[in-house]
Amino acid sequence: MENFDAIIIGAGQAGPSLAAKFAAQGHKTALVERKWLGGTCVNNGCTPTKTLIASAKAIHTAKRGAEFGFNVLGEIKTDMKLVKKRKDEIVQRSTNGLQNWLSNVTNLEIIEGHAKFMANTIIQIGERKISAPKIFINVGTRARVPQDVQHVPHFTNSTIMDVDFVPKHLIILGGSYIGLEFAQMYRRFGSKITVIETNTELVPREDGDVSKELKNILEGEGIEFKLGATNLNASQHSKGIKISLESNNGAINLIGSHLLVATGRLPNTHDLGLENTDLILNKNGYIAVDEYLKTNVEGIWALGDVNAKGAFTHTAYNDFEIVADHIFQDSKRSINDRIPCYALFTDPPLARIGITEKEALKSNNKLLIGHRPFFKISRAKENGEENGFMKVIIDADTEQILGATILGLNGDEIIHGMLDIMYAKASYRTILNAVHIHPTVTELIPTMLGELKPLNF
């Protein structure tokens, strides 16, 4: 048995920074990773998808040349091998950077292999057994593949990263964050796309007006949707995959060349040896934690997607900050201080902070709402990007912003102004009275805030 001061399992978005922090404080630290440094985000999540989306956007803009006053000589054709090469290089840069950084940290050992608990304080990696009084679980999630399609060839967010051709007709199961980013990207690369979603609306967690506007935008690019899908049946076909289903439009048979499954995630707790510990899981297999990310077992913490307190890179990294502050600075920072924020990186992006309108309507407080479509924003008109809208929900008594949505040009960046005001717990009037730069999308946020209407009174 080898003894360490701290063991971190998983080198995703929280693990490496936490490991480096422990090591920097002079603690003998082990960081165990079974596959790739950087985890999902760097290898088959955020970094590669946003890189592919950038290629897709460039191709799309080139195809709009005539609109902006230029001609492209010859056909605009995706070279998927080059698209993939660019993606691989950018991913490689990140993983190399991580490798260089971590391998030079004193007191830190990176152990390659699959970690399994043998007891609350003992971890096995192959033949090696290591122990520590402090163990941090950062093992993330993997794609959930429904039983209906397990028997037919399919891609997940991981395996689609190896694709270096443009599928003729890509059927995508799941019309939410992962499904829609891939749908638009592959449509722009040149695939025919059909998205199948069991819910009657896309991105079902969002407000109905958001789902509808996104559907309109994506249909405008030629993406087809089969919503309210039930009785799904999948089989192999000489031309690829055959899928039959019932949907809002009745019984449907589809034949696609390829299938991508984007129907949610499962926590990587199934093969972690948790049966040898006293750890409590919630009903979906995620590790139960308190507001400081402590599990029910003294000396074990769970960070990142595996604790179900967030499902994003920024929430995983914030978990690291909370735990590190707690252990090394005795701070009272907790996840209760965190305001929900995320973006869906379609074009235009959907940016969301705080609560949605449908969540707000459950409140008994007096609420105000502001709304502005992008076709009434000069910068959007000038850029030829008039799709979408922004809206904001405000508590009428405290004047604080409770939530906001921007589905439109640069929304993923612009929304942070409102997010920071929420963290400051300041009145929306701070933004209302501020002078912003013209011509920007941001300058219309005060205009929207000047036209608030009662939402529920």
Strand pairing report for 367-373 and 453-454: antiparallel
Kindly give, in sequence order, each residue whose CB lies less than 8 Å from that of residue 305, ignoring residues fewer than 6 positions away.
12, 40, 140, 141, 265, 267, 311, 316
The CB-of-50 to ligand NAD minimum distance in angstroms stands at 8
Q: Which does 33 bind (CB under 5 to 8 A by kind): ligand FAD, ligand NAD, none?
A: ligand FAD
Q: Which of residues 398-427 bind ligand FAD (CB under 6 A)?
A: none
The binder of ligand NAD chosen from 173, 227, 272, 444 (CB under 6 A): 173
Which residue from 183, 196, 341, 380 is in contact with ligand NAD, where contact means CB under 6 A? 196
Among 117, 136, 177, 317, binds ligand NAD (CB under 6 A): 177
- 272 near ligand FAD, judged by CB under 6 A: yes
> Could you say which residues in the range 88-147 bind ligand FAD, by CB under 6 A?
114-115, 138-141
Residue type, 300: I
Among 6, 8, 9, 135, which residue sits at the site for ligand FAD (rule: CB under 6 A)?
9
146 binds, among ligand FAD, ligand NAD, none (CB under 5 to 8 A by kind): ligand NAD
229 binds ligand NAD (CB under 6 A): yes
Among 33, 206, 213, 347, binds ligand FAD (CB under 6 A): 33
204 contact choice in ligand FAD, ligand NAD, none (CB below 5 to 8 Å, kind-dependent): ligand NAD
- Classify residue 50 by burial, with Cβ atoms within 10 Å: 0-12, 13-18, 19+: middle
Structure-block tokens of residue 357: 């309108």
Q: Which does 47 bind (CB under 5 to 8 A by kind): ligand FAD, ligand NAD, none?
A: none
What's the closest the beta carbon of residue 270 comes to ligand FAD, in angstroms?
10
Query: Binding pattern to ligand NAD, positions 338-377, x when CB under 6 A?
Result: ----xxxx--------------------------------
The full length of the chain comes to: 457
CB 170 within 8 A of CB 257: yes
16-39 as b/e, with b when 16 or more CB fall inside 10 Å?
A: bbbbbbbbeeebbbbbbbbebbbb
Q: What is the rounded CA–CA span in Å between residue 3 and residue 92?
A: 33
| Partner in contact with 32, chosen from ligand NAD, ligand FAD, none, beta carbon below 5 to 8 Å by kind | ligand FAD
Which of ligand NAD, ligand FAD, none is residue 185 near (CB under 5 to 8 Å by kind)? none
- Nearer of residues 46 and 367 to ligand FAD, judged by Cβ: 46
HSE-CB for 114 with a 13 A CA cutoff: 8
3-state class (DSSP) for residue 402: strand
CA distance 75 to 73: 7
Of residues 165 through 204, those in contact with ligand FAD by CB under 6 A are 178
Residue numbers 245-304 binding ligand NAD by CB under 6 A: 262-265
Per DSSP, the three-state class of 172 is strand
DSSP string, 34-97: SS-TTHHHHHHSHHHHHHHHHHHHHHHHHHTHHHHT---SS-----HHHHHHHHHHHHHHHHHH
Number of residues counted as binding ligand NAD (CB under 6 A)? 27
Which DSSP string do the residues of 184-242 spell out, in sequence order?
Answer: HHHHHHT-EEEEEESSSSSSTTS-HHHHHHHHHHHHHTT-EEEES-EEEEEEEETTEEE
CA 97 to chain centre: 22
- Interface stretch with ligand FAD, choices 213-221, 225-233, 311-319, 370-378 (CB under 6 A): 311-319
CB of 446 to ligand NAD, least distance (A): 27
Report whether 32 contacts 123 (CB < 8 A).
Answer: yes
Q: How many residues sit in the footprint of ligand FAD (CB under 6 A)?
A: 37
Could you say which of ligand NAD, ligand FAD, none residue 13 binds, taking C-beta under 5 to 8 angstroms by partner kind? ligand FAD
Name the residues that contact ligand NAD, by CB under 6 A.
146, 148, 173-179, 181, 196-199, 204, 229, 232, 262-265, 311-312, 342-345
